[in-house]
Amino acid sequence: MKPISQNDKPISLSTEQIAAIKAFINKRGFNTIEVEMEALDHMASKVEALLEEKPDMNFDLAITKAHVDLGIFGFATFEEAINSGYTASLRKTRNSELKSYLFGSKALITLAIIAIAFSIEKVIPTQNSGEIAAISLYSYGSILLLISVFANIKVYRKWRKKSIIIRNVSMTVGGSAYLMGQLFHMITGFNLLSQAFIPMVFIATFSIMTVSALISFTIIRNAIKSSKEKYLKYA
């Protein structure tokens, strides 16, 4: 696939030259997919412009000059912008998806989840119901995390440790499920609720865990799509 610059204009840099720019970026500690691709977009275009201006310029010198033009903060500028954008984008996506699950086109999915939670609660034995419900939620949280991993196993192997978004959202899926299960366990373990309220709390907890996981899955899918688009530009 021929490399493409950030303005979609085909560039003339070879695969080896692109690899050299990537190595230059990585050696400075910036190796997440998001930062690497944004920096590579900029550097490739800048290096090509320098080589077009002075065809006899040494390629390594062109890389150095392109990096110097970024200023004293270098690639940290991309990292800061991406982290800020990630936070804003994550908040926007979560809020948009949550509204959709509560009041929008996905409200029927939420109702179906509540109905499933209600059905599961009905088969929990009355004796030791609080403890059994807590164990069920812990187990369910683990299943949600495994579903996320196995659904994107190839991407997880390749990008999980290299993608800011995928790494953080994956931790959120597992962490949120654990905290919800822990909260339910504490409520039932310390008898903070009467036995009559345990079914209602279980249904609410199960539903919140599920909707939260679905929202996180959407964010992960979007992150994977975005990362692939950037990655394939220079694959």
Q: Cα separation of 235 and 226, whole Å?
A: 14
Q: Which amino acid is at 18?
A: I
What is the structure's pLDDT at 174? 64
Instruction: State the pTM of this model.
Output: 0.72
DSSP secondary structure string, 97-155?
A: HHHHHHTSTTHHHHHHHHHHHHHHHHTS-STTHHHHHHHHHHHHHHHHHHHHHHHTHHH
Six-digit token pair at 104? Answer: 């929008």
Task: State residue 212's pLDDT score.
Answer: 87
Name the amino acid, one letter, at 13: L
Residue spans of the chain under pLDDT 50: 1-8, 10
Q: What is the pLDDT of residue 235?
A: 56
